[in-house]
């Protein structure tokens, strides 16, 4: 079997095992000024309806699996990047659920982006691996869906069995917002190619690439400090302490919920609605990734 056949056969197998979405997509919005780990526990317990955080995390990963944590570090150190403290809390819960430390992989597009955001690059035996796609490398053959044709990070295709997507909640000057769906641009070699037309349909089509769509098991959006203007770069004058985590399996429902939170804040601050609007959210819904219909989104506040 050559490399191209390997990628195609692997993608087919992943699609075949994908779980259908529930009739309603649950989005948990956990909001408080309590310790981050306690807020994470509350969010996961509410999402999976379990009595303890450990029971909830056992729904995400099993011992023996390699779990990737896809962060967003493009904005560097500050509140517009995924918090290292949140990633450490997620990693600790994964370890308690039986995932070995060596089987936890924190990744983003570039190692230098991770370092700039406060992460420490690590590849020691027995410890969680922290590295960019420049360390893992990319597949040599394009993965293609619709308008998207990209080389996928080997962290996604070969290293990880499952992925926890950890974006941030902020606006985006080109795409409207950048939350769960767009965060997977950090798993391909050519994201700059897909920013025309407000990222529509490219953001949806990249997420449709089978290894991405099938391996992302959960999204935990870092909304402790959110941003409503000037993104994706960190603009403290347009940020506010939301003190929240958003948790969902459905990235479309999460992005829709996050978008509405940002629009509500813009209205509060006397700003017009986002221009451009994040039209890719509706496109992702039309692809069957999830729902943007508020009647089919169960928003749970805890």
The pLDDT score that the predictor gives to residue 12 is 39
- Contact call for residues 68 and 156 (beta carbons, < 8 A): yes
Peptide bond between residue 45 and the one before it cis (omega within 30 degrees of 0)? no
Placement of tokens 């985590």 in the chain: 245
The pLDDT score that the predictor gives to residue 77 is 81
- Confidence label for 8 from pLDDT (cuts 50, 70 and 90): very low
Task: Summarize pLDDT for 150-177 with one digit per residue, the tens.
Answer: 999 999 999 999 999 999 999 999 999 9
Strand partners, 68: 105, 163
Beta-strand ranges (E) seen in 93-200 are 104-108, 129-132, 143-145, 148-150, 162-165, 168-172, 176-178
Per-domain residue ranges of the chain: 3-301
In this predicted structure, the answer to whether residue 87 has a pLDDT above a threshold of 50 is yes
Taking Cα atoms as reference points, which of 287, 230, 290 lies closest to residue 255? 290
Read off the pLDDT of each residue in 182-206 and give the average, rounded to a whole number.
Answer: 98
The pLDDT score that the predictor gives to residue 228 is 98
Q: What is the CATH number of domain 3-301?
A: 3.40.50.11440
Where residue 127 falls (left for φ over 0; alpha for ψ -120 to 50; beta otherwise) is: beta
The pLDDT score that the predictor gives to residue 34 is 81
The pLDDT score that the predictor gives to residue 126 is 76
- Confidence label for 79 from pLDDT (cuts 50, 70 and 90): confident
Beta-strand ranges (E) seen in 67-187 are 67-70, 104-108, 129-132, 143-145, 148-150, 162-165, 168-172, 176-178
Give me the chain's average pLDDT, please.
Answer: 93
The pLDDT score that the predictor gives to residue 22 is 55
- What is the 3-state composition of the chain as percent helix, strand, coil, each rounded to the nearest 5? 40, 20, 35
- Confidence label for 76 from pLDDT (cuts 50, 70 and 90): confident
Strand partners, 178: 170
Taking Cα atoms as reference points, which of 242, 132, 123 lies closest to residue 186? 132
Task: Summarize pLDDT for 11-70 with one digit per residue, the tens.
Answer: 433 333 344 555 899 999 999 988 999 999 999 999 999 999 999 999 999 999 999 999
Q: Which residues contact 81 (CB under 8 A, 6 or more apart)?
A: 71, 72, 73, 74, 75, 117, 118, 168, 234
Q: Give ∠ CA 296-219-271 in degrees, rounded to 5.
A: 70
Strand partners, 246: 29, 221
In this predicted structure, the answer to whether residue 275 has a pLDDT above a threshold of 70 is yes
């Amino acid at each position: 079997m050559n490399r191209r056949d390997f990628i195609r056969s692997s993608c087919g197998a992943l699609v075949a095992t994908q779980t259908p979405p529930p009739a309603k997509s649950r989005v948990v919005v956990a909001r408080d000024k309590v310790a981050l780990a306690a807020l994470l526990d509350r969010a996961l317990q509410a999402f999976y309806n379990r009595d303890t955080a450990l029971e909830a995390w056992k729904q995400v990963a099993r011992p023996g699996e390699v779990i990737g944590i896809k962060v967003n570090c493009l904005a560097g150190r500050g509140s517009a990047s995924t918090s290292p403290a949140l990633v450490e809390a997620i990693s600790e819960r994964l370890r308690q659920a039986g995932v070995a430390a060596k089987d936890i992989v924190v990744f983003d597009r570039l190692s230098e982006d991770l370092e700039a955001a406060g992460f420490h690059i690590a590849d020691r035996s027995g410890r969680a691996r922290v590295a960019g796609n420049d360390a893992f490398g990319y597949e040599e053959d394009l993965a293609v869906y619709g308008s998207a044709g990209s080389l996928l990070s080997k962290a996604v295709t070969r290293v990880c069995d499952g992925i926890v997507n950890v974006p941030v909640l902020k606006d985006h000057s080109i795409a409207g917002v950048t939350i769960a769906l767009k965060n997977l641009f950090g798993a391909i070699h050519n994201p700059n190619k897909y920013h025309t037309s407000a990222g529509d349909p490219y953001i949806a089509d990249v997420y449709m690439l089978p290894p991405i769509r099938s391996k992302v098991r959960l999204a935990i959006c870092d909304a402790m400090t959110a941003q409503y203007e000037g993104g994706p770069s960190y603009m403290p004058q347009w940020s506010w302490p939301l003190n929240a985590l958003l948790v969902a399996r459905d990235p479309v429902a999460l992005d829709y919920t996050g978008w509405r939170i940002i629009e509500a804040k813009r209205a509060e601050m006397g700003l017009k609605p986002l221009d451009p609007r994040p039209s890719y959210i509706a496109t992702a819904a039309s692809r069957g990734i999830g729902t943007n219909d508020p009647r089919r989104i169960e928003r749970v506040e805890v």
